[in-house]
Structure 1
Amino acid sequence: MAAATANSASRPSSKLAQLTESLKLEHQFLRVPFEHYKKTIRANHRVVEKEMSAVISGVADAADGNLSRDDAVNHLSSLVSRLQGLKRKLEEGNRAEHLQAQKCRVRLDHLESADAENMSEWNSTRLNRILVDYMLRMSYYDTAVKLAECSNIQDLVDIDVFQEAKLVIDALQNKDVAPALAWCADNKSRLKKSKSKLEFQLRLQEFIELVRAENNLRAITYARKYLAPWGATHMKELQRVMATLAFKRDTECATYKVLFEPKQWDYLVDLFKQEFFKLYGMTLEPLVNIYLQAGLSALKTPYPYTIYCYEDDCTKEDPLSQESFRTLALPLPYSKQHHSKLVCYITKELMDTENPPQVLPNGYVYSTKALEEMAKKNNGKITCPRTGQIFSTSNTINIYD
């Protein structure tokens, strides 16, 4: 009785430990909406500063100038209209901030709702979140939206954030850098702090497109205005790109030919994604990849599956019994196991001194608990689940004896 009580007490404790470890992986889950919230606040603050500065400047001009009564009234009326416009913008900004704060609250509540009793349901929700994250990163936006709606997890995923990225990515794929440059301008201080090269690379590409169109005068003017400020930190790249004015778009010189290739746009898309993920505190790899790699590296051992793991003999619960997962696990390190562990094929529970392994006459090993339960249901007979052979309980041998 005492042992049973101890076992029942240890199971919740074990689940709680697993839950605690699991929650440590939810950094991105909270970071993304928080970063979005901060970005909204900064944008609203910039709007207020800009508009108020303009209004104060306008009032000062009116006070210093010798305006007629009608001109003064018109001038002040325009300032009032501007302030009314600012009020509308602030109301919209306030609503946006409220929505972002609410999303942060919902996610905190979701994490707090996790406990040992509802782990199955909570993990199912997390799996859906991870799948939505993967779909959004792979540009399957419509599918991601449908999965989020079907699972009722719209507030737990970052569809709105990825929609922002989608506009830029679509534009870059259509060879348009304007939205990407606008995004850089909106996040200039943070990109500068992280020493991002995104804006510089976008400017280079815009210069290359002018050279491709053989519009050299515009290209030179563009370089003076937008590329020259980068000279102190990126002189070599600038020199290389400026040389395209002489080599032209149809050059066969590999050093410059590559600058005109379409894959440069793919490079810009990848670079934007990296900067976007860093800005919002996201992992560079999709979450599903990280979880799969972690799981596979924990399971991967030097055991040669290709030799010993046959279709009828290998447990289907082991992902590495499948060729596709073995291929995925190839670059991963082996699991570091100091001690071997035996897991029962039937119950999937650990076999140890309290639940010792038993050997059947055909050589297969199962836990004592599994065989006893099977014998109770079959009048003392044990059926090997792998071969179908039937044995008596007296035929089993305890390995630890």
Structure 2
Amino acid sequence: MLLDRKSLWPQLRRWEKQAAGRDGPFRLRFGTLFVADADAARDILVDSAGDYLSQSGFLRLGPESLPRKVRREASRELLRVLSRHDLASSFDLACALGEVSDGRGRLRHQRWGVELVRRYFAPVIAHPRHTEINALVDAYVTSSVVADDIVGHVLRRSHRTVPAVRAGLAEQLSRLQAPETGAQDLVDLVLGLPGELSPADRAQLLQRLVLSTVGFTGVTLEWVVMLGIRHGYDTPAVRPEQVHRLVKEALRLYPTAWRLIRVAAADHAIAGSRVHEGEHVLIGTHAIHRSATVWDRPLDFRPSRWEQPTDEQRRSYLPFGKGEGMCPANSFAIRALEHLSHLILHDYRGHVRLRARRPHVRTLLAPPTGWTRLTPAPPPDC
């Protein structure tokens, strides 16, 4: 329905303007209720979450989420896996940038960030001994995360690669045993999940965890580096606290997860609007982050606004959602973004060339087509 178009950016801007002229939720032309108020969003995601079907963007099989108990344990195990790896000290940025750039030294938007973050989180996703699994993960990132979730090539040709990748992952996982001790990577994590899960089920869960690990983080990295370069942050003088505010503002103005969708489990009301069982509710993160009633000059890129944000601004900031359905590893994602962004902006001078003016919106909200070129910063004068 939503993704029948190449890019949804015009629709996002239209919904944002509609929300600005209304006091509460309203229905889109295809019937879905659109919510662009932070208090109503919190009510849906946290306070009245029982009125909606239990949902997880990552720990689900098809449209059905795993049981709540399993999701909670998987989320805790994911955090334990991430904490076991010192990614900051083991990552070779210069080597990774060389690998993800094209033959002319350019970082092509809508792919380079995902490919670089795939390398950054490689020890977390699968141990190097899992040679076949790592090759399949690379194929999944290229053929699904980049081609479908970001670019939208699936609209132009039949998409055969993803089922083949899932079948390959299922075959590889069927040959492995669940770890006797704690999980060391995402492969161990999906193998150790309890319940009657087939190898194909575990392969699907691994794919979703890869998307959550590299897709959202990689696209946001592109936004942060592009905006940082265009606003003069690519300097050896850039400080970590400046990059922290840069990341916050990039996620406010261009939230990679531009909407959150919930399905009503029973008839109820949201901010005066009636919702019936089975209906979809779309929380417009993008519109909430650009509300003129909350943010001063909301369309301006102003990282300084995060020096002293108001309570209302904190409540209206939803880049990872809220409640049980939010990304369990959001703190690690932010840490990775700030680390990588600071390394790039501190050590390289950048140049951005855009081939389009508008962001590109599919499953993820990505930068416009174009490229970024990075040049190592000259050594400081002695």
* Structures share fold, TM-score greater than 0.5: no
User: Higher relative contact order by CA 8 Å / sep ≥ 6: 1 or 2?
Assistant: 2
- TM-score when scaled to structure 1? 0.23
Q: Per residue, is there more helix in 1 or in 2? A: 1
- TM-score when scaled to structure 2? 0.24
Q: Per residue, is there more strand in 1 or in 2? A: 2
Q: Which has the larger radius of gyration?
A: 1
